[in-house]
Amino acid sequence: METIKVLLVEDEEDIREMVHFNLFKERYQVLLASDGQTAVDVATKELPELIVLDVMLPKMDGFEVCERLKNDPQTKKIPIIMLTAKGEEEDVIKGLEVGADDYITKPFSPKVLLARIKAVLRRSKNTVKSQKNVFTLNDIRIDLSKRKTFIRDTELKLTYTEFQILHLLAQKSGWVFTRGQIVDSIRGENHAITDRSVDVQIVNLRKKMGDQGHLIETVRGVGYRFQENVTPL
């Protein structure tokens, strides 16, 4: 089995050693960095499969590290899990806005972190597999070329915006998207949508999806996601 390379960026020595030990036990190849600039350098040189990134770092904070890596064509597809202080909702939102793929709040248990790492790696692989014109998730079929959506062969009459939102969420099931990210994903097509109107669009979309509407979950204080246990076929 190929060894998965994980970059751990954490300046607190006790946390770094604890996470390193548990990743090593799971047979990950662990790369270490204790400041933001080193993190960027190591990620660019080693191209790990995943990065665990603390927010509070010397030289360059985690937000800037994440933003730089996500804006670099060489590293933009590397999944990033950000470590945030407990209860700092603003940090969670800011991290997702600059491109983080998931987050976990401190303090955390090693088992929870390992589970999140496995989930993010799994979602990353599923996203690669689903880059095609038609993909299916449970009873939902989305045809990108025809811009049509079906549930059990019944076509949903979706607006442009509803289709874009459903496609964005469904293609990365389990990933949390902030309202700002949803707006940005369909802005530039000359269709007016705001953070506030995203909530209205989601309500309408769930209604049209009927008994499948529950698959779009609200992440309180952050945004929305498609259920993680639904994967492309």
CATH 3.40.50.2300 domain position(s) in the chain: 5-129
The CATH architecture of the domain made up of 5-129 is: 3-Layer(aba) Sandwich (3.40)
State pTM to two decimals: 0.67
Mean pLDDT of the chain: 85
pLDDT digits (tens, 9 = 90+) for 136-171: 877 888 888 788 899 988 999 988 788 888 988 888
> In which residue ranges of the chain is CATH 1.10.10.10 found?
134-226
Give me the pLDDT at residue 207, please.
94
Q: pLDDT tens for residues 11-23?
A: 999 999 999 999 9
Supply angle C-alpha 121, 136, 149, rounded to 5.
125
Nearest to 230 by CA among 164, 183, 179, 166: 166
Mean pLDDT along residues 176-186: 82
pLDDT at 186 over 50: yes
CATH topology of domain 134-226: Arc Repressor Mutant, subunit A (1.10.10)
The answer to whether 8 touches 114, Cβ cutoff 8 Å, is no
pLDDT digits (tens, 9 = 90+) for 87-133: 677 888 888 888 888 888 888 889 989 998 988 888 776 554 455 67
Could you count the other beta carbons within 10 Å of the beta carbon of residue 129?
A: 11
Does residue 187 surpass a pLDDT of 80? no
